[in-house]
Structure formats: C-alpha cells, structure tokens
C-alpha cells in the first residue's frame, strides 16, 4: 500500500500553504460586507448620540459639530439677513450618510434582478440590486421616526415631522447617489 500523505516542508506546512497568494489590492467580499455594516452601525449610533444631546449641548459642547453649526449660522445670517435655524442641515448630512451606508451594505445581500418575491439571498452576489436604494431609504425613514420619538425625551429637543421629512429625503438621495456611483464604477 502506498503512503498517500502530502510531502511536508521543513516547517511542517504543506507546500501549497507555504506559497504566498498574490495580493489583489481588494478586500474580500465578506470583509467588505462586514466593514459596510460596521459603518451602518456607526451611523446609527452617531445619530442616536446626537439626538440624545440637548439643543444647548449641540450648540456649545459637541466640538467640531458646534463649530460647524456656528459657521453655518453665520453664513445663513449673511445670506438671508436674519437668523436661520440650520439644524436641518445636520439632519440632512446624518441621513444622507446613513442612506448611502445602508444602500452600500444591502448590495451584498440583494439579488440584482429585483424580483420582489426573492429579495434576500444567503450569499453575497456581484451585481447591484435596483432595490437597495429603496430599501435603504425605507429603513432610514423608519429609523428617522424612532429618532424623532427619542427626541421627545431629550431636554431642549422635540419631535418634528419636518425633521423626519428632511431625514427621509436625505436618506433617499444618499442611497441613490451610492447606487449610481457604484453602478458607474462597475462599468
């Protein structure tokens, strides 16, 4: 009987495992998907954190965000000749990023055909789904509702349906930008 064991190199590893795999410069799809969902989780946590801050805290105690809000207020005063509430700009930016992050993460789990009966698949696929922006916008909108509800319990904050509308529009725009940028990059 022949011994069919694979020859071992001096370190004990098989020859195939000791050969260096070429570097492609790209992340594996699994790693990219995990990173994408971490970005989504970060955005959700960031939005929750900012919503738990009182209006006075956001104006004075959030570091760079206070400085940006102050700068935007000065620019709006110069442009319109009166004070303007610039907090919707913050909502817009947060949800623009959330919509884009969600659309990017969802692309790893949606079928490209967009068949309504079979959207979710167990493995990542290469093609983009037309449904990713719509689902990302809808999920962001639902999160916007919970965000506004959360603000009821935050001193100096309130539930504002206009903020939710800004959130939903921004998330939709962010998801669409992500979709079209990724579509262009795939060509």
User: What are the 10-residue block averages of pLDDT along the chain, 187 residues in total?
Assistant: 50 48 61 92 93 68 71 79 78 94 87 49 52 93 94 86 94 95 82
Residues 6+ apart with CB under 8 A from 70: 59
- The pLDDT value given to residue 105: 92
- The pLDDT value given to residue 82: 79
Cα distances (Å, whole numbers) of residue 124 to 85, 100, 102, 106, 127 = 43, 18, 15, 10, 9
- The pLDDT value given to residue 154: 85
Question: Domain residue spans in the chain?
Answer: 29-186
- The pLDDT value given to residue 80: 80
Residues 6+ apart with CB under 8 A from 54: 154, 155, 156, 157
- The pLDDT value given to residue 157: 82
Residues 6+ apart with CB under 8 A from 114: 129, 130, 131
Q: Distance between CA 13 and CA 24 in Å, rounded?
A: 24
Global pTM? 0.72
- The pLDDT value given to residue 156: 81
Q: Distance between CA 52 and CA 31 in Å, rounded?
A: 31
Residue 156 burial (CB count, 10 A): 12
- The pLDDT value given to residue 121: 46
- The pLDDT value given to residue 168: 97
| Residues 83-89: contacts with CB under 8 Å, at least 24 apart | 87/58, 87/163, 88/162, 88/163, 88/166
């Amino acid at each position: 009987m022949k011994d069919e064991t694979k020859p071992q190199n001096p370190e004990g590893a098989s020859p195939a495992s000791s050969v260096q795999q070429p570097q492609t410069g790209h992340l594996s799809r699994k790693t990219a998907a995990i990173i994408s969902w971490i970005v989504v989780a970060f955005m959700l946590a960031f939005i929750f954190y900012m919503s738990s801050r009182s209006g006075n805290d956001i104006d004075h105690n959030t570091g760079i965000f206070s400085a940006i809000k102050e700068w935007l207020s000065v620019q709006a005063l110069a442009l319109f000749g009166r004070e303007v509430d610039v907090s919707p700009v913050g909502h817009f930016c947060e949800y623009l990023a959330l919509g884009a992050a969600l659309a990017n993460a969802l692309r790893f789990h949606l079928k490209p055909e967009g068949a309504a009966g079979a959207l979710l698949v167990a493995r990542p696929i290469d093609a983009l789904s037309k449904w990713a922006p719509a689902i990302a916008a809808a999920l962001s909108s639902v999160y916007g509702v919970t965000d506004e509800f959360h603000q009821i319990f935050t001193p100096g904050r309130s539930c504002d349906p206009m903020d939710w509308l800004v959130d939903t529009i921004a998330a939709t725009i962010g998801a669409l930008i992500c979709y079209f940028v990724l579509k262009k990059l795939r060509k």
